[in-house]
Homo-oligomer: A and B are copies of this chain.
């Protein structure tokens, strides 16, 4: 937020990898990031850089706020359910697991090899700074206020996120005519970087690492669905998505430099 106003003033278009322009509500930003926002002026015009939801706006955007890694996986996994009113918005639980590069390159005791290796833990249980970002976007999709339960965990691997998501069926949903898997396939039909697995087939981190893909698998039951989404946190969850946004902004093929 210190560089961005300078760049915009100079007539540049910006894809911002930081969290500074993702949250529209400054109070929530300041609470979760524990820092004063210095450029509220550009908050309104920034476009949330998830191409699957905002492609048209990204095309002409001056400022794109590139999404966080957990939100990318979580929102893509839930967008069809909420946009189509298929899930109970109050029921959503996201149990997410990330490799250590998710936290950047912090030099702290908690990130030493012998602290991470052969271990696994939950952290920031229901208080991670990515939760309000997920809430904001899912609320927009659902057309009503959503607050998810979000528990991140730290995996002893270098890269990759896998989110296991639990959602109950919306109460008023009638007997459906197609499987959720088919609904998802249709929803993401034209998306170059979202791949929907066959019913009951779940993606694993190996499937997406070193790629810009988000792979999604769905398992339905009487009460709702379990959705598993996997991305590479450094690509679709960060710089890969930034390149995808840049491609859209510049009118390049969306695959450029990503295949």
Contacts and interface: CB of A to CB of B under 8 A. Distances in A.
Nearest to A220: B126
A179 interface: no
A169 interface: no
Contact of A156 (B100, B109, B157, B228): B157
A205 B93 CA distance: 22
Interface residues of A, number: 47
B107 A107 contact: yes
Interface centre among A100, A113, A204 (most CB of B within 10 A): A113
Given A101-B114, A109-B107, A200-B125, A120 B166 contact: no
Interface of A: 93, 95, 97, 100-101, 105, 107-109, 111-123, 125-126, 149, 151, 153, 155-158, 160, 162, 164, 166, 200, 202-206, 209-210, 219, 221, 226, 228
Given A153-B164, A156-B157, A226-B151, A117 B113 contact: yes
A29 B172 CA distance: 36
